[in-house]
Amino acid sequence: MSKKIKQRVFVGLSGGVDSSVSAAILKEREFDVIGAFIKVWTPPGLPCPWREDRRDAMRVAASLKIPFVTIDLEKEYKKEIIDYMISEYKAGRTPNPDMMCNKRIKFGAFLKKAVDSGASFVATGHYARIKNGNDGKYKLLKGVDGNKDQSYFLAMLNQSQLSKIIFPVGGYTKPQVRKKAVKYKLPTALKKDSQGLCFVGEVDMKDFLKNFIKPKQGKVLSEKGSVIGGHDGVPFLTIGQRHGFRLFDKDASRKPHYVIKKDIKTNTITVSEKPLQSEFAGKNVSLGNINWCSENAPAIGAKNIYSCVIRYRGDEIKCFIDKINDKKNTAEIIMKKSQYSISGGQFMAIYKNDECLGGGAIL
């Protein structure tokens, strides 16, 4: 009787507990598991714990007795993520590097290298699920742990990608994953979760951006248009931000003021004591760079109610899709309730119950 050939899967080992448990689960399911650490671009002189993370990933691979490889994607990361971030900030928009990293790096360049190396799948420690529906389409579903669900960051994935991805911990809660890590005796069982983007580390985003965007003194305006302060450049500020600029009136400075408008051409910002007054405030949102995970657009019209999310762990807002322009790859979304502190460049994900249908960038 011939021996069953195991399906090969490359697991993106980040050095954290979620990806470690993912590798352990897949080995238990008798996959041919390869542990892979993705080396991304890091700017010279800024702290990033990638060496420590890689060492932890190697320890996990050794503990599980699986092969370990390092995949160098520095060039791809610099081009697809860093350059995208800088261009968006320069244009006065607010990028989402995590969203693009999943689309272009983890399930783009990494997936390609894995498949080229004989893998049938790649896996990560994302809290999300993938289901093959009755229609033959792969559906992206929320993770069962509502506090950790990461489907929002995966809204730009397509059918080709979803068909080759496994999310082993998507059906578990974080406490359950921790227990599994102890059960498998993984060296990362008690490691704290990482926060933010690796290349930024503990450095303030503004300090990071100053390496690429030259500060330029600009004016802070009141809602009436009066000059009431100064700032170091529009690209360093986001809608809703309440710091990063200076007010001339010391008494006024004691009260919180929020950025409600940015003008990249004049290098001015408008602030208000009312955070709800934003240039993007309202119920209507235009999306560009649209992606539908099923590759088929959802039904439009007020009778077809969905929910949308405009930031990670943000509230779900009831909405419907008013128009879709296939030629321009845009969509008009109408929300049931006005939202505030929205910035151009942010991504909106659209859901039907637990299924993430896709989304796009706010124009």
What positions carry a catalytic annotation? 101, 198
Contact 197, 214 (CB under 8 A): no
DSSP string of 139-153? EEEE-S-TTT--GGG
Name the phi and psi angles at 316, rounded to 5: -85, 130
* Rounded CA separation 238/269 (Å): 10
Which residues are paired to 355 by β-bridges? 141, 352
CA triple 348-238-98, angle to 5 deg: 45
Task: Name the E strands within the chain.
Answer: 8-12, 32-39, 68-72, 121-123, 128-132, 138-142, 165-166, 218-221, 227-231, 245-247, 258-263, 268-272, 282-292, 306-309, 317-325, 330-339, 347-352, 355-362
**How big is the CA angle at 89 (ends 243 and 271), to the nearest 5 degrees?**
35
CB 309 within 8 A of CB 316: yes
Tokens matching residue 73: 């994607």
Sheet holding 245-247, edge to edge: 245-247, 227-231, 218-221, 268-272, 258-263
- The answer to whether residues 16 and 188 touch, using CB atoms and an 8 Å cutoff, is yes
